[in-house]
């Protein structure tokens, strides 16, 4: 998705400049936000194949981060709704037809769903950008096609879940069956609502499980449409249940439910600990976690500086800096540090901030009031702790959760902004001298999600690739998220891997079947 920077900034240098002047003005005064042409029809919970109100009848508002105004009121799921959803998912798993269908039939439903995504991509992308504030061009041309691509990928896996036959030490025939694990509880975040939907729902369905999914309270809308389309594609009722709602209520009910067999969570490390403990305390359901990060982006002395600037800019600022794998510690070799700083500043100043529905905008608002204030707090802290503010540092405009692209230079390892996840458009640049030094500093973090390495030297690339204790190393690229590439964290960035063949493990149980054999011809 995210790899195609050229698609994200499709404008020529000149156009971009003109746009920027225009947009800056517009956004600073926030005269008239673009009104996307869409009516919000799906706001209820999706349980047992039907859209239903919350048992409590309660609803919560979802906010347009451009205007701080209410988009729609959405049914607010709580424990009772989770119980209903689990009951439906249990029935769908235990009585079938989902796990009893042939894998080929399951794959055809997933392929039809991918086709429906393509067919409805304008509508899906609009919902996604409206609810999250991400540029429409990013949603429409990158993320939604990627959702379709992921479901086609997982459709292909459905009939390729092979077990093993196993060599025995005696007269036994041994096979391992890779079975669906049962009812999967899945909790997804607000930064990539549909992509996280695809990462979670795709493998769970391909492996024959049923699902209770909780969306983030900031972005409940797009998943409901996706859920409807999945049922349109032929998904049997009860196989995918979607509960909109909050973490302490609906999320907690999922994490501690005794009839959910598996939990997958993407979100903060702090909440990852809470759901893991709830899972352990209840029925010991296994947990997959994709959590926070503080990923280093290392630029060596032999780098092409212009390319390095552009890529490290993208690595941090993409999606308003709201990526768990954001390249949020930019390590630049001292020999090129000053030139790099100057160019990074120039690039940040050129970044087009504005209404995400305006063509050519690179950066929309942050997701919410809470995130906006959290980021502004980190910017203040960076200044207090003595980092050098190179550009930005304040809100953009007077309405909406916009923040100016911000760069700190001369950031020291012990400063809060280099240790904690900011999750916003704040780049922290720091200088290093030697490879062993930068390895040590890059690894001195409780996180281990990803890293960027920028070099033309194969020895440097190979040494760093092994030494960095992270789940993904991008060499001379960043945020390449192909379906087949596994993604996940070392250390406190999580457990397990999503995407790729590895993701199937999260949704399969391994059963050894050992049968005594008479007169074996061979062993």
Measuring CA to CA, which residue among 336, 331, 317 is closest to residue 405? 317
Rounded CA gap, 210 and 507, in Å? 10
Pick between residue 39 and residue 258 the one whose CB is nearest to its own copies: 258
Q: How far is the CB of 10 from its own copies (least distance, A)?
A: 17
Rounded CA gap, 155 and 149, in Å? 10
Asked if 169 interacts with its own copies (CB under 8 A), we say yes
Q: How far is the CB of 275 from its own copies (least distance, A)?
A: 8
CB atoms within 10 A of CB 246: 15
Contacts for 270 with CB less than 8 Å, ≥ 6 apart: none
Chain residues 284-313 in contact with its own copies, contact rule CB under 8 A: 284, 286, 289, 291
Chain residues 3-22 in contact with its own copies, contact rule CB under 8 A: 3-4
Asked if 223 contacts 197 with a C-beta cutoff of 8 angstroms, the reply is yes
Pick between residue 404 and residue 497 the one whose CB is nearest to its own copies: 497
Q: How far is the CB of 243 from its own copies (least distance, A)?
A: 23
Rounded CA gap, 296 and 449, in Å? 9
Asked if 509 interacts with its own copies (CB under 8 A), we say yes
Q: How far is the CB of 490 from its own copies (least distance, A)?
A: 6
Asked if 272 interacts with its own copies (CB under 8 A), we say yes
Chain residues 429-488 in contact with its own copies, contact rule CB under 8 A: 446, 461, 465-466, 469-477, 480, 482-488
Rounded CA gap, 292 and 41, in Å? 33
Q: Tell me, what DSSP letter sits at residue 470?
A: S
User: Residues 269, 322, 406, 428: which binds its own copies (CB under 8 A)?
Assistant: 269
Chain residues 318-347 in contact with its own copies, contact rule CB under 8 A: none
User: Residues 68, 179, 237, 420: which binds its own copies (CB under 8 A)?
Assistant: 179
Query: How many alpha carbons fall within 13 Å on the CB side of residue 168?
Result: 17
Pick between residue 23 and residue 473 the one whose CB is nearest to its own copies: 473
Pick between residue 17 and residue 166 the one whose CB is nearest to its own copies: 166
Torsion sign over Cα 79, 84, 87, 88? negative
Rounded CA gap, 499 and 506, in Å? 10
Pick between residue 206 and residue 468 the one whose CB is nearest to its own copies: 468
Q: Tell me, what DSSP letter sits at residue 139?
A: I
Q: Tell me, what DSSP letter sits at residue 425?
A: S
Asked if 516 interacts with its own copies (CB under 8 A), we say yes
User: Residues 67, 268, 276, 416: which binds its own copies (CB under 8 A)?
Assistant: 276
User: What is the SS3 assignment for 365?
Assistant: coil
Chain residues 477-506 in contact with its own copies, contact rule CB under 8 A: 477, 480, 482-488, 490-492, 494-497, 500-502, 505
User: Residues 172, 343, 349, 389: which binds its own copies (CB under 8 A)?
Assistant: 172
Q: How far is the CB of 468 from its own copies (least distance, A)?
A: 8
Rounded CA gap, 56 and 14, in Å? 55
User: Residues 24, 67, 176, 268: which binds its own copies (CB under 8 A)?
Assistant: 176
Please give the positions annotated as active site.
Answer: 290
User: What is the SS3 assignment for 516?
Assistant: strand
Pick between residue 130 and residue 308 the one whose CB is nearest to its own copies: 308
Asked if 273 interacts with its own copies (CB under 8 A), we say yes
Residue written as tokens 């030094």? 437
Asked if 189 contacts 213 with a C-beta cutoff of 8 angstroms, the reply is no
**How far out from the chain centre does Cα 86 lie?**
24
């Amino acid at each position: 998705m995210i790899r195609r920077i050229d698609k994200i900034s499709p404008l020529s240098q000149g156009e971009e400049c003109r746009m920027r002047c225009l947009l800056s003005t517009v956004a600073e005064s926030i005269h008239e936000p673009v009104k996307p042409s869409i009516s919000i029809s799906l706001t209820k919970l999706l349980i047992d194949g039907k859209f239903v109100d919350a048992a409590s009848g309660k609803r919560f508002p979802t906010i347009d981060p451009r205007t701080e105004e209410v988009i729609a009121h959405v049914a607010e799921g709580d424990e009772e709704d989770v119980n209903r959803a689990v009951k439906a998912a249990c029935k769908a798993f235990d009585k079938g037809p989902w796990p009893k269908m042939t894998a080929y039939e399951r794959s055809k439903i997933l392929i039809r769903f991918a086709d429906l995504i393509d067919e409805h991509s304008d509508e899906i992308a609009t919902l996604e950008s409206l609810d999250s504030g991400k540029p429409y061009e990013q949603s429409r041309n990158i993320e939604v096609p990627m959702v379709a691509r992921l479901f086609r990928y997982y459709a292909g896996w459905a009939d390729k879940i092979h077990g093993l036959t196993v060599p025995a030490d005696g007269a036994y025939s041994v096979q391992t069956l890779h079975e669906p694990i049962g009812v999967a509880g899945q909790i997804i975040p607000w930064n990539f609502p549909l992509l996280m939907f695809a990462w979670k729902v795709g493998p769970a369905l391909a492996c024959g499980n049923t699902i209770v999914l909780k969306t983030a309270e900031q972005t409940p809308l797009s998943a409901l449409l996706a859920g409807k389309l999945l049922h349109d594609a032929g998904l049997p009722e009860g196989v995918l249940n979607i509960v909109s709602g909050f973490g302490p209520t609906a999320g907690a009910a999922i994490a501690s439910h005794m009839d959910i067999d598996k939990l997958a969570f993407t979100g903060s490390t702090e909440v990852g600990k809470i759901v893991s403990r709830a899972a352990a305390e209840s029925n010991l359901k296994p947990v997959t976690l994709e959590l926070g990060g503080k990923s280093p982006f290392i630029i060596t002395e032999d780098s092409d500086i212009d390319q390095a600037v552009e890529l490290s800019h993208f690595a941090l600022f993409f999606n308003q800096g709201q990526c768990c794998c954001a390249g949020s510690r930019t390590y630049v070799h001292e020999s090129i540090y000053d030139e790099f700083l100057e160019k990074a500043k120039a690039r940040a100043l050129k970044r087009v901030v504005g209404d995400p529905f305006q063509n050519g905008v690179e950066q929309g608002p942050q997701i919410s009031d809470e995130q906006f204030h959290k980021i502004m707090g980190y910017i203040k802290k960076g200044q207090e702790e003595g980092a050098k503010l190179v550009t930005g540092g304040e809100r953009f405009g007077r309405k909406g959760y916009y923040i100016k692209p911000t760069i700190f230079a001369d950031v020291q390892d012990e400063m809060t902004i280099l240790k904690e996840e900011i999750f916003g458009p704040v780049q922290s640049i720091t200088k290093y001298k030697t490879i062993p030094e930068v390895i040590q500093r890059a690894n001195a973090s409780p996180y281990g999600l990803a890293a960027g390495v920028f070099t033309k030297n194969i020895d440097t690339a190979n040494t760093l690739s092994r030494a960095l204790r992270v789940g993904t190393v991008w060499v001379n690229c960043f945020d390449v998220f192909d379906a087949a590439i596994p993604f996940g964290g070392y250390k406190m960035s999580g457990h397990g891997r999503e995407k790729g063949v590895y993701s199937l493990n999260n949704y399969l149980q391994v059963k050894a079947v050992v049968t005594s054999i008479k007169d074996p011809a061979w062993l």
